[in-house]
Amino acid sequence: MRLALAILLVFIAGCGGGPDVAMLRRDVTARLDQALPPGTLAVASLERKGSQSDPGAPQGETRRTIYFDAELRLTRDFDFGAWDAPGIAGLISAFGAGPKGISGITPGGNKAGDVLRIHGTALYSRAGTAWRQVVPAGYEPEAAPAYATTMPQHGVATAFEAMRKVVEAVPVGAAPAQRAIIEEEMTAAAAAIRSRLARAANGYAIAAGPEHGQYLRLAQALARSEATRIVPLVTRGGDDNLRLLRDGKATLALSQADAALDAYRGRGSFAAEGPYTGLRAIGSLYPEPIQVLVRGDGNLRQMANLAGRRVAIGPIGSAARLTALSVLAAHGLRIDEIRPLEVPFGEALPMLQRKEIDAVIHVIGVPADSVRAALLAVPLRLVPLSGPAIEKLVGGDRTYIEYVIPRGVYATQDEDVRTIATAAVLLAAGDLSETEITAITGFVFGGSRDLVALGSAQGAQISATTARRGLPIPLHASAAKKLDELAAEAKRPGDAPRDLRK
C-alpha cells in the first residue's frame, strides 16, 4: 500500500512539473524546423532547469513554463542577421528566449560548426495526464533606466520642487489635453537634460523611444558596448526623435525611414516646421515591416476585408499612422471607408483580444514582443498585403522595400506573409564633426560584438552591407566613406576577423 502511494505521489509530482527532457527536446527541434530552414541547427545538448506554474493561464487550465539551457551546432553557414531570410526572429520565437538569452551570433554570418548557447522557455498545457506545447512563454523586456540616478542637490531640488507643484496644481480629473501637455513637457525635459549631460561628458545622446520599445533596447545594447559613450534617451518615438534632433536636444536619433523623409521634405506631420534639409543619415539599421494583425478565429484574410471594419491605425502625428494610411490607400481604402481608431499599438492589441476592434496596423521589427505576448491569450493572424498594392508602395517615393515575414517568426505563423517594410535609420545632428561621424559609423556598423546578447534582437541585422538599403535621405559623407570601407572589409575573403571599429 505504501509503495503504491509512493508511486502515485511521484507520478503526480511529475505531472505537476511539466514534460520531461525527451519531450522538451522533441518539441524544441520541431519548433526549430518550423522557424528556420530544416537542418540548419542541431540540438547538441539540452538541460531542463526547472519550471513554474503560469499565473496567466486561462481559468480552469493548468499551464507550466519550462526553463532550459541548450547548445545548438550549425550544420552549415548561416546569417542570422539577413534582412530577407528567417534568422534571429525565428530563433527567439522558437526558444521563447530574450535577446540576452542567446549568445554566439556573429555579425556578418555564422559558420558551420559554430555553437549557439540559449537560455530558453517553453510553455505547456496539461490535458489529463498529457502535456502539449503551446505558444513559447517568451520574456519580459528590460525596463528603461530611471531619468535620475542621484538625489537632487540644492539648486536642482528647487527646480524639481517647482515642477512638482505645477503638476500637483492640475486637478485629478483634468482634461486629456492637459495631461498630454504635462507628459510631453516632462518627457522632453528629461531627454534634454540627459542629452546635455552626455555631451558635457564627451558622449552621445541618442533619442530612442518609449520604455520596452525596440529602439530603446538597441540604444541600451550599444550603450553596454565599450569604446563610445552612448546615453539612451526615453522618448515617445520616431517623430519625437526627429524633433529633438532638429532642436539640438539630441545628438543622434532613431526613426523610420519614411518619417525621416517627411521631416527632410517638411511634409506630413512636419509640414509646420518646414524642410529639415540639414538632416543626414548614418545608415539603415534593420527592416521594420508593416504588420496587419487580426484575430485568428475570425474571417478577415485579405486587406479588402477591412472595409467598414474597426481598424487601429496609430495615434495622430505618429509615423506608424501615416504608413498605415498609405497601406490602406494602396488597397483602395480611404480612411472614411474604415472605422479608424487612433490609439497606440500597446492599447490596440488588448482591444483586439477583447473583440473591441477588428484589426491593427503597425510598423515594428520582428519579432515584436507585444505580439508574442498577445499570442498567449488569443490566436492572431497576419494579413498579407496584395501584390498590386505592394508594387504601388515599393514604386513610390518613400523607399519602401518589399518584405516577407518568414513562417515561424511567431509561434502560430505557419506561412510566409508578404508585406512591405521601411528601414529603421540612425540619424545625426549637424553639429557633429567628420571625425565623430566616422567614429560613430564604425562603432555601430563595425566590430564583432554580439548585440543580441547585449539585449537587442534587431541588432543582429545591422551591417555595413545593408546600411544603404531603403535609405531615402542623404547619407552623411563621412558615414558613406566609412561604410564603403567596412563593406569592402566584410567581403574580403580569407582574412581573419578583426575589430572594424578602428
Peptide bond into 474 cis (omega under 30): no
pLDDT at 358: 96
Residues 6 or more apart in contact with residue 298 via CB below 8 angstroms: 358, 381
Residues 6 or more apart in contact with residue 377 via CB below 8 angstroms: 56, 353
Half-sphere exposure at residue 122, Cβ-oriented, CA atoms within 13 angstroms: 32
- C-alpha dihedral sign at 237, 239, 241, 243: negative
Q: Which of 248, 251, 246 is nearest to 233 (CA)?
A: 251
Distance (Å, whole) CA 14 – CA 9? 9
First to last CA, the chain: 74
- pLDDT of residue 138 exceeding 60, the answer is no
Decide if 280 contacts 430 (C-beta within 8 A).
yes
Q: Tell me the pLDDT band of 185, cut-offs 50, 70 and 90.
A: low
Lowest-confidence range among 106-115, 426-435, 454-463, 487-496? Answer: 487-496
- What's the one-letter identity of residue 344? P
Mean pLDDT of 94-98: 77
- pLDDT of residue 480 exceeding 90, the answer is yes
- Across the chain, mean pLDDT equals 81
Percentage of the residues of the chain whose pLDDT score is greater than 70: 79
Mean pLDDT of 139-150: 36
Q: Tell me the pLDDT band of 378, cut-offs 50, 70 and 90.
A: confident
Instruction: Tell me the per-residue pLDDT of 332-346, one tens digit each, with 9 for 90 and over.
Output: 999 999 999 988 888
Helix residue ranges per DSSP H, 248-354 = 257-265, 319-330, 345-353
The length of the chain, given as a count of residues: 502
Lowest-confidence range among 79-88, 195-204, 233-242, 261-270? Answer: 195-204
Q: Phi and psi of 111, rounded to 5°?
A: -105, 155
Write down the pTM of the prediction: 0.76
Distance (Å, whole) CA 35 – CA 41? 11
- pLDDT of residue 201 exceeding 60, the answer is no
Q: Which of 497, 473, 484, 455 is nearest to 99 (CA)?
A: 455
Higher pLDDT, residue 8 or 310 = 310
Mean pLDDT of 77-103: 81
Instruction: Tell me the per-residue pLDDT of 221-253, one tens digit each, with 9 for 90 and over.
Output: 999 876 568 889 888 888 889 999 999 888 999
- pLDDT of residue 463 exceeding 50, the answer is yes
Neighbours of 490 (CB within 10 A): 17
pLDDT at 271: 92
Q: Tell me the pLDDT band of 449, cut-offs 50, 70 and 90.
A: confident
pLDDT at 170: 64
Instruction: Tell me the per-residue pLDDT of 313-370, one tens digit each, with 9 for 90 and over.
Output: 988 767 788 889 999 999 999 999 999 998 888 889 889 989 999 999 999 888 787 7
pLDDT at 283: 97
pLDDT at 307: 95
pLDDT at 319: 76
How far does CA 108 lie from the centroid of its chain?
Answer: 20
Mean pLDDT of 285-291: 94
pLDDT at 421: 95
Q: Tell me the pLDDT band of 152, cut-offs 50, 70 and 90.
A: very low
pLDDT at 47: 93
pLDDT at 229: 80
Higher pLDDT, residue 6 or 274 = 274
Distance (Å, whole) CA 292 – CA 282? 29
State the pairing for strand pair 252-256/204-209.
Answer: parallel
pLDDT at 497: 39
Query: Phi-psi region for residue 370, left (φ > 0), alpha (ψ -120 to 50) or beta?
Result: alpha
